[in-house]
Chain A
Amino acid sequence: MQQPSGTEETMGEIADDATLYDRHGQAIFAYVRLHTSSREDAEDLTLDVFTTALEHDNLSEMGDGEQLAWLRRVAHNRLIDGYRRATRSPVVALDTVVEMLLEADTAGPEQVALRRERYAQLHQALQTLPQLQQRLLRMRYGDGLRFAEIAVLLNKREDALRKLLSRTLATLRTLYSQPVQEGGKAC
């Protein structure tokens, strides 16, 4: 039995919507996560962004970069419009961070101790970085995004971000060539 043509079309549209989400969902979710207090809020808002996208036919005519820029802008404005929660990125105690990092560690006690010191140093060093550099590191190494995607999300030029990451890594690398200071201080 032949299916009505309208149903065929809509099934294709569902596939398009899923493709759009599969292409940009991770990047938009990463962007929203930077600005929301909880994972649940970020999920709701990301869903809201892609639901808005459903209502705009012209997205399919855009290139990848344009689509991401459009979605990022919608997410940005949705964040502004819908910001209701009071907590975001609460300051986490250093001990908690180190425990989190070591949670799944199966190494011996000595290795764990060394790694604990290293993570403490890294945490301290990361906290001293400007917000932009912290976000760049998170999106690059936490979310695994490409420079082109990060550039759109952070509203910066791609080449500028590459230079910034290069400088940031050079700064952080100095940590790994110096012995641990008393009290966990890094120079």
Chain B
Amino acid sequence: MLDHDQLMPEETQGQNRLLMQDLSHYYDTRVEDNISLARIRARLLQKTATSLPLADEDGRTRFPKPSRGERGARMKYVHTFVRDRARHPFLSALAAAVLLVALIGSFALVLRPKQGTITGSDSPAGAHGWTVVARFTGTGSQTITGQDIVGHRFGWFIKCTNTTNVTIGVELSGQELEGSSGKRCLALPEELLWPENMSSSLEPGRAAVLQTIKVTAPSSTSWELVIFKGAYHPPLSIDTTNWHALADEMDGTGPSSWSISVTLPKTWGLQFVCHGAGTLKVGFLLLPVQPGTPDNPPASVSCNGQLHFESFDGGGQDTRVFAFDLEITTGIENDWQAVLVGCTNGKPHCGMTTTTPTP
């Protein structure tokens, strides 16, 4: 399946032959995927075919795409304008002059990025946990400085008047974010407005200052950049006599999986919370499989910001676990946090009398 012109040296080395073979086998879903792709293709073509041909009033066939209809209307207007211009050269020159003045005026206005305002109504519909903090418009390359927007999570969205490559560089607390450059500026449908998250390299729990935004674009490209700030949830706090955290907090947005190496005590638990809408399901797998751990993951919990806790008694001695795989299943817009905790008093069930205690 791989394009051999693109193979890396490591992929062709003899010593990796077995590994490459096993990886291809491990991930191979070609048969099922090809069936799926063929099915989608057939449905796509059927969908296209059923929407044509439609007859216009003048009897001509037309493909019913709104954008094509609009384009047709624009073309008619242009044709009319060209014909009239030939008949009235003076009016044409006057119109051109007015148009030129208007263009220069709008260009001067657009060149100055405008400061954003924090307005809830600007938030895209359904974008849970994101608030617009700044909005800039510009043409060509711009460096926007002196912002000093403090936050823990930032996101951005850019759109252009034409589809041209535009790169965005963002500096948070003096550091350029990895992966923030080389973005494409795309003419996306308005209803799909949703921020790209750019907070992944920030330290958990530490606020950052968004200071500088650099947009690099051809001089002919007009763009609109929207900066978002995401809701912040403080790290889960484990500060009790009998329980302590066994590893760093795991957190994220949307469905995710984590894998950590950890030593589990006899009694351990998982504390977790979900912010957003709908539900969250937590599943985990211990390798090698530990006796006493439940076969089924806990039931779904609501993403209402309420803290949940599940405890488990493994029995026997503390065990070195090769891997603890956490599988989070939730809506892609939901924020979640989870932390593994261990009991320190050595008592069965950690001396708890209730079924769902909170450490």
Contacts and interface: CB of A to CB of B under 8 A. Distances in A.
Interface of A: 4-7, 9-10, 13-14, 17-18, 21-22, 25-26, 29-30, 35, 37, 39, 42-43, 46-47, 50-52, 54-58, 61-62, 65-66, 69-70, 73-74, 76-81, 83-84, 86-91, 93-94, 101, 118-119, 122-124, 126-131, 134, 137-138, 140-144, 146-147, 155-157, 162, 165-166, 169-170, 172-173, 175-176, 183-186
Given A17-B44, A184-B288, A54 B259 contact: no
Interface stretch (B63-71, B217-225, B339-347): B63-71
B300 interface: yes
A138 B278 CA distance: 29
Contacts of B28: 141-142
B323 interface: yes
Given A70-B184, A165-B8, 5 more contacts: A14-B45, A14-B49, A57-B71, A142-B26, A144-B30
B94 interface: no
Contacts of A77: 188, 192-194
Given A26-B33, A50-B44, A173 B19 contact: yes
- A contact face: mostly helix, strand, loop, or mixed: helix
Contacts of A5: 60
A57 B68 contact: yes
B2 A144 contact: yes
Interface of B: 1-3, 6, 8, 10-11, 15-16, 18-20, 22-30, 32-33, 36-37, 39-41, 43-45, 47-49, 52-53, 60-63, 65-68, 71, 126, 163, 165, 179, 182, 184, 186-189, 192-194, 196, 254-259, 261, 278-279, 281, 283-285, 287-289, 297, 300, 322-323, 325, 327, 329-333
A42 B179 contact: no
A25 B37 contact: yes
A185 B40 contact: no
Nearest to A155: B179
Majority SS at the chain B contact face:
mixed
Contacts of A184: 288
Nearest to A132: B200
Given A10-B53, A58-B187, A4 B60 contact: yes
A12 to B, nearest CB: 10
B41 A21 contact: yes
A54 B179 contact: no
B6 A147 contact: yes
Contacts of B258: 131
Chain B CB count within 10 A is highest, among A69, A76, A88, A162, for A88
